[in-house]
Amino acid sequence: MLRVIGLGKSYPGFRLQVSLEVGVGQTLALLGPSGSGKSTLLRLIAGLEAPEVGQVWLEQTELTPLAPEARRVGFVFQDYALFPHLSVWENIAFGLREARWDGASIRRRVAELLDLTHLGPHAQKRPNQLSGGERQRVALARALANRPRLLLLDEPLGALDLKLRHELLWELRAILRQAGVPTIVVTHDQSEAFVIAQQIALLRGGAVVQVGSPEQLFRHPKNAWVAGFLGHRNLLSADQSQQMGLPARPHLLPPEAITLGQGEEARVEERVFKGFVVGLELLWRGCKLYLEGPELGLYPGDTTQLGIDWSRVVALEEEPSSTPGAAQPSLEAPRAR
Ligand SMILES: Nc1ncnc2c1ncn2[C@@H]1O[C@H](COP(=O)(O)OP(=O)(O)OP(=O)(O)O)[C@@H](O)[C@H]1O
């Protein structure tokens, strides 16, 4: 179990102050907008930077006073930082030689990791002869080689194109589950966090806004910012909620609260074909709602019925009026009028 207790660091115009825990063998995704402090937190945990206050504990060991190399932390950076002149095999073995493993143990461990990351056929290639996805797996194998007690991944799929990201995401998930090492993954992509992690910590302006499983966070976001960051669209301000007969505080209408085909009349304003689903923007009671689902043959100008199950509407907390240093999320303004 990793415990980060009141870890703090300041830069001009920015302050990070974070406490969180990662369970044995679990993966926690650090999710947040650019500049929210994700990489800074990772560097503090790795010991690449010194905190002003706070502690990091791994099981019964306090890591904070230890040098980075004494922490037994595996780190994968965004650019992988592989040794260009060494083969895949040598890249993976490098840390083991440094740690003075004997030759037979090194050969055994490298073979295990080549197997885990499916890099066997590429063992003798150099990094510049590999694809982006293969380089990413070498970086992961190298980070895991010396049996780290903790794995830190900073945007591990960041340098890859979209298609490759998607393919490797599932592979990364499988490798992390198999490796069983507590892991923190930095990402700014919520769908990536949902696939990889059992826990998500949402960071904004250097502070954790909410921690929980992907499902907890998605179903019970604390406030409109969290809901918007996780991809929810139907957010009502306190005023809009009141107009709908709800208490005067922000609310979320989750997809499962909205049913098409029964209820009051709704008019289709926009339609987006998205492949597996169709997105519809509907005007209902003077309020714009967005829904995704199977093809229903509805086009702009059509009318249909829309019902809301009010028992499924989620009450949200009011956000603090300003969060110092917080970057604005890519939240669409609540669309209801
Ligand atoms: N060495 C430094 N000196 C001064 N300011 C810094 C330093 N490192 C980071 N910062 C500032 O701290 C804040 C958090 O940066 P950080 O890189 O941790 O954010 P992030 O969430 O990882 O962002 P991104 O998603 O863009 O990588 C930013 O405002 C950044 O400018």
Q: Is 135 near ligand 1, meaning CB less than 6 Å away? A: no
Quick check: is 177 in a domain? Answer: yes
Write down the pLDDT at residue 117: 87
Bridge partners of 62?
Answer: 57
Question: Which residues in the chain belong to E strands, given as ranges?
Answer: 2-11, 14-22, 27-31, 53-58, 61-62, 73-76, 150-154, 183-187, 199-204, 207-212, 235-236, 251-252, 258-273, 278-284, 287-293, 303-308, 314-315
pLDDT given at position 172: 87
Place of tokens 């689902």: 293
pLDDT score of 60: 93
**Count of domains in the chain?**
2
Listed in sequence order, the residues at least 6 apart from 337 whose beta carbon sits closer than 8 Å to its beta carbon are: 240, 286, 287, 288
Query: From first to last of its 337 residues, what are the pLDDT tens digits of the chain?
Result: 899 999 999 999 999 999 999 998 899 999 999 999 999 999 999 999 999 999 999 999 999 999 988 898 998 887 778 999 999 999 999 999 999 999 999 999 999 999 988 899 999 999 999 988 889 889 989 999 999 999 999 988 876 777 778 878 888 898 889 888 999 999 888 889 999 999 999 999 999 999 999 999 999 999 999 999 999 999 999 988 988 889 999 999 999 999 998 999 999 999 999 999 999 999 998 889 999 999 999 999 999 999 999 999 999 999 876 544 333 333 333 333 3
> What's residue 321's pLDDT?
64
Do 293 and 270 share a structural domain? yes
Kindly state if the Cβ of 34 falls inside 6 Å of ligand 1.
Answer: yes
From 17, 40, 153, the mutation candidate for ligand 1 (largest count of ligand atoms within 8 A of CB) is: 40
pLDDT at 323: 46
**Ligand 1 contact via 210 beta carbon (within 6 Å):** no
What CATH number is associated with residue 297?
Answer: 2.40.50.140
Interface confidence, given as ipTM, is 0.97
CA distances from 86 to 89, 90, 124, 134, 152 (A): 8, 6, 9, 15, 23
What is the Å distance from ligand 1's center to 11 Cα? Answer: 8
Q: Which positions ≥6 away from 275 have C-beta within 8 Å?
A: none
> Looking at the domain assignment, is residue 107 inside a domain?
yes
Ligand 1 centroid to residue 129 C-alpha, Å: 32
Does 213 lie in the same domain as 242? no
Residue 332 lies in a domain: no
187 lines ligand 1 (CB under 6 A): no
42 plus 178 within the same structural domain: yes
Q: Is residue 324 part of a domain?
A: no
* Contact 14 CB / ligand 1 (< 6 Å): yes
Of 219, 244, 267, the position where a domain reaches its end is 219
Ligand 1 atom at shortest distance from the alpha carbon of 186: 22
Same domain? 147 vs 26: yes
Residue 322 lies in a domain: no
Judge if 180 and 246 occupy the same domain: no
**35 CB less than 6 Å from ligand 1?**
yes
Q: Using a 6 Å cutoff on CB, does residue 37 contact ligand 1?
A: yes
What is the CA(208)–ligand 1 centre distance, in A? 15
Please tell me whether residues 131 and 78 are part of one structural domain: yes
| Ligand 1 midpoint to CA 37 (Å) | 6
Residues 19 and 142 in one domain: yes
Residues 89 and 171 reside in one and the same domain? yes
Q: How far is CA 188 from the centre of its chain?
A: 6
Domain that holds residue 146: 2-219
Nearest CA to ligand 1 atom 18: 37
**Whether residue 161 is found in the same domain as residue 14:** yes
User: Global pTM?
Assistant: 0.86
202 within a domain of the structure (yes/no): yes
Answer whether residue 227 is part of any domain. Answer: no
Predicted confidence at residue 188, as pLDDT, reads: 82
The last residue of one of the domains, among 193, 219, 245, is: 219
Q: Which CATH number do you get for residue 114?
A: 3.40.50.300
pLDDT in tens, 315-327: 999 987 654 433 3
DSSP code string of 192-213: HHHHH-SEEEEEETTEEEEEE-
Asked if 199 and 239 sit in the same domain, the reply is no
